[in-house]
Amino acid sequence: MKEYLIHTVEVLSPKNAFRYSESLRALSLNILNTIVEVSGGVLPEHPALFQLISDNVCHHLVYMLQHTDSPFLLNLILKLFLHLSINMPHQLKIQLELIFNTLMQIVISKWDELEKDLEKTDQHIFGMTKRGKYETEVLTEKDIEELSKEFHTGKMPGVKEVVIEALSALWVRSPYFFINLFKCYDCDFDRTDLTVSLIKLICRLSSSDASVYTTQNVPPICMEGLLALVDGMHDRIKTAAKNDVHINTLEPHPLILQQKKKSDFIECVKQWNKKPAKGLELLYEKGFIKDKNDLEEYAKFLFEKSGRIDKKKLGELLAKPDHDSKKQKGKKKQNTPIG
């Protein structure tokens, strides 16, 4: 079985991209889809087979998503991604996070532009609400040019539609998709805020101007996803009210507290990446560092939490003469005999 799976996976390897035909790669993807769909739940019990899925298959999936324009192959790739997401969400947590981010990068090229557009849209909608007058705006050539900066990823509009349809299958399949994703990633200290990013993406794509660089079908699909999210929240609030449960009186769930702590930490690190001194003060205030004058604790923190820290700023901090003098003082203090 292992040898059979190795040969099947090898067909999808980037080094064999021009060695095998599209039909053979499609056959390989179909076989993998069947394996994961039928046996995905028990594959983690077989380490040798699971390693092939977690390492090789996921790696090849990311590569093919980035380089495949064939709708036929893309559908099979996304189908395999869906099967992995449904059958092994916790075992392939890091791999699925990478695939999710890859899918979002296929649709959006500049995330900063997306967030600016969301903020601009919010202001526009609230402005119309205050005026009590709702009107649509006609896109100018300049607007379309600005949109290209945000949406131009080198992928065809049809490819983007296929990606969004695949993502929509997840929230259509389960009303708890966003909740489970939030618990799995956004509440995990070491993972990205994947749910927030995905909701921002579908919020942006639900706007009609997104169809300029996607297709006419994308905004309705994304709007349906937002409605599913809001409807799910509404249903749970109604259920709580029927059971005489008042949400405002409930104790915060440990996962929510964990997510809040993670948000505080990210805010501290952002501040640290701008100005390390102020970031250190904020880390101390939030309780991430017990003693801001303890260089050993500070160094341990920078080492253990280096994933989100700007390495350039860290290098500048370590290279500063005043920091060297502090280190020397710390060493002298340690070497001073007691009594």
> Is 157 within 8 Å of 213 (Cβ atoms)?
yes
Which of 190, 216, 245 is the C-terminal boundary of a domain?
Answer: 245
Q: Specify if 208 maps to a domain.
A: yes
Task: Please say if the pLDDT value at position 298 is more than 90.
Answer: no
Angle at alpha carbon of residue 71, lines to 66 and 75, rounded to 5° = 80
Say if 127 falls within a structural domain. Answer: no
Q: What's residue 317's pLDDT? A: 74
Rounded Cα gap, residues 319 and 321, in angstroms: 6
pLDDT at 245 over 90: no
**Given this model, what pLDDT does residue 18 score?**
87
- Among residues 203, 221, 245, which one ends one of the domains? 245
Query: Is residue 18, in this structure, part of any structural domain at all?
Result: yes
Do the Cβ atoms of 28 and 10 come closer than 8 Å? no
* Residue 264: CATH number of its domain: 1.10.220
Written in H, E and C, the secondary structure of 233-265 is: HHHHHHHHHHCCCCHHHCCCCHHHHHHHHHHHH
- Mean of the per-residue pLDDT values of the chain: 86
Domain boundary among 182, 210, 245: 245
Residue 123 lies in a domain: no
pLDDT in tens, 47-106: 999 999 999 999 999 999 999 988 899 999 999 999 999 999 999 999 999 999 999 999
Residue 122 has pLDDT above 60, yes or no: yes
Residues 17 and 93 in one domain: yes
| Helix/strand/coil percentages in the chain, nearest 5 | 75, 0, 25
Instruction: Tell me, yes or no, whether 112 lies in a domain.
Output: no
**160 lies in the same domain as 90:** no
pTM for the whole structure: 0.82
- Output the six-digit token pair for 61: 């999936």
**Total count of domains within the chain:** 3
The residue ranking higher by pLDDT, 223 or 316, is 223
Domain carrying residue 46: 1-106
Band (140; pLDDT cuts 50, 70, 90): confident
Residue-level pLDDT at 81: 96
Q: Give domain status of residue 50, yes or no.
A: yes
Is 50 exceeded by the pLDDT of residue 282? yes
Given pLDDT bands bounded at 50, 70 and 90, which one contains residue 293?
Answer: confident
For the cut 70, the answer to whether the pLDDT of residue 329 exceeds it is no
